[in-house]
Amino acid sequence: RPAEEPPPPLPDPALLEMLRRFDLAWEYGPCTGITRLQRWERAQALGLSPPGRIRDALLEHRDNP
């Protein structure tokens, strides 16, 4: 029987809080129907200066929705 893969590590609580604040920040526009990264990119394109740390975290954890 093959060994089971270990569960992925839990995300850092500070990272989760940062993402939650981004989700709730109305200044970056609505968040329904798009991914966080799409929302970040849209806000950047509109000149809204979303935090770069958010984009970095989203790219680093692409495999974890």
In a domain, 23, yes or no: yes
Neighbouring residues of 42: CB distance < 8 A, sequence distance ≥ 6: 28, 29, 34
Residue 7 lies in a domain: no
**Residue written as token pair 């850092």:** 12
The closest alpha carbon to 55, from 10, 24, 22, belongs to 22
Q: Are 39 and 31 in contact (CB under 8 A)?
A: yes
**pTM higher than 0.85 for the full model?**
no
In a domain, 38, yes or no: yes
Gap between the Cα atoms of 43 and 50, Å rounded: 6
Specify the DSSP class assigned to residue 26.
G
Total structural domains in the chain? 1
User: Is 8 part of a structural domain of the chain?
Assistant: no
- pLDDT tens for 3-62 read 777 766 667 899 999 999 999 999 999 888 999 999 999 999 999 999 999 999 999 988
